Structure 1
C-alpha cells in the first residue's frame, strides 16, 4: 500500500493570513448610531453601500475595534478568518472587514430582533 507522503513537511502557521475575507471600503460604510459597547469595542448600526448586488444600501451591524494594538489586530484578524470559515445558517451573516485606517471594522448582517450580545 502507498504510504502518506508529506509535501516538504509543511506545518500550519499559528493563524492563517486573512484569506478569503471580504474587504469592505470605509467610504461605503455610513455609521448611524451606537448599538452597544463591549470589551472588544463598540457596535454600530450602519448602512453599507455596494455590499449586496440586489440592494443599493444594506443595514449592517459594524463592530469597531477599540484599540489598534498589535495583539488586538491579530485577534481581529483571527476572528475575521474564523467567521468567514464558520458561515452557516445559524449565525449572523458576516460580510467582511474594513482594515484601511482606524478603527478596524467588522461588518455583520443587522438582525432587527437579533441577540446583540453575540457582537459584544
Structure 2
C-alpha cells in the first residue's frame, strides 16, 4: 500500500519503544512525499517517529527549511524558515497544508 521506503521502514521498525502511526498519519506523510516528488525537489531528510507520537520531517532545499509533523489527529504542524528565520507556521489539515506549501515555495523563488 505504501511505496515510499521510509514509510515502509517506519511500519516495519515499529517496536515497543515506538508508537504505531495511525492510517491518517501515514497517508498524510505519503501525500507530502508524493508532492515533493512531483515538484522534483531534492529531499535531504526523511520522516521519523518522535517521542510526541508524530511523524517528523526536516526538509531543506537551498536556504529553505521545512519542519513538518504529521500529527495523530490528522493535522500537519509546520514551520517554514528561510535563511534561518521563521517565515510561516501553523497547524492545519493536509487539504489546507499543500496549498500553503505551494504558495510558500512560489514566494520563496523570487
TM over 0.5: no
Relative to its length, the structure with more helix (as a share) is 2
Which structure is richer in relative contact order (CA contacts within 8 A, separation 6 or more)?
A: 1
Q: Looking at CA atoms only, which structure, 1 or 2, has the larger radius of gyration?
A: 1
TM-score (ref. length: structure 1): 0.30
